Amino acid sequence: SYEVTQPLSVSVALGETATITCGGNNIGRKNVHWYQQKPGQAPKLVIYRDTLRPSEIPERFSGSNSGNRATLTISSAQGADDADYFCQLWDGTVVFGGGTKLTVL
Amino acid sequence: EVQLAESGGGSVQPGGSLRLSCVVSGFTFSRYWMNWVRQVPGKRPVWISHINTDGSGTSYADSVRGRFTISRDNARSTLYLEMYSLRVEDTAVYYCARGAGGYGDNWLFDYWGQGVPVTVSS
């Protein structure tokens, strides 16, 4: 089965740029989606098909995907961005990454 | 406003059964694939089942195949998950999630319910 790897945690200063990665073999050939999850809440889609953003998601969220790494970038990070982030893709079945806890300092 | 609301969770002994429901509103239910995803708190979400728009196509994760059955009632805008032979390892929060066909990919999930806890314990 296809495996993806995310860092357990990422910290970013308020207003700075946070980068969360999702690694996998030739992941650049797959469509990668990203979800934000806050405590006690359901996951929320923030980026889909590598780079696209649902209309209600702030522009500071962006994504890229190439080679063996997909990346979620949060520019000018805010306290509201403090959450867990999961990457997800399809490889014959649905695959979720292990999640990254983003802390905004 | 799109809304999904699960119900039917609770505590059950190993070997027992439960039926989860997910009532949706704010969109035309019959036009979308639907899914069940579960998550142990602090762990990653795990997809467990999908059903296509008219219920003629379903799929399951290996961990639940043969024990869980997904179904839908388009007239009632309701998704179901029948769970049999429950195991301790089935303990999780269960979410219904809409397949985002509108985004060109049914295997991503654009709306989720609030989740319902299922505890399997003796």
pLDDT of residue B104: 72
pLDDT (0 to 100) of residue A97: 97
**Chain A closest-CA separation from residue B93 CA (Å):** 10
Torsion of CA B100, B103, B104, B106, to 10 degrees: -10
Does B61 reach chain A within 8 Å, measured CB to CB? yes
B4: closest chain A residue by CA: A42
The whole-number pLDDT of residue B105 equals 82
Q: Which residue has the tokens 């962006």?
A: A62
Could you count the other beta carbons within 10 Å of the beta carbon of residue A64? 15
Nearest Cβ partner for B104 among A49, A93, A98 = A49
Q: Does B110 touch chain A (CB under 8 A)?
A: yes
pLDDT at residue A45 above 80? yes
- Beta sheet of B78-83, edge-to-edge order: B3-7, B18-25, B78-83, B68-73
Are A60 and A74 within 8 A, CB to CB? yes
CA distance B98 to B44: 18
Nearest Cβ partner of B100 from A42, A43, A48? Answer: A48
Q: How many CB pairs under 8 A join A and B?
A: 54
Over 80: is that where the pLDDT of B78 sits? yes
pLDDT at A12: 96
Separation in Å, CA of A56 to nearest CA in chain B: 12
Q: What is the mean pLDDT of chain A?
A: 96
Which residues is B51 bridged to in the sheet? B34, B58
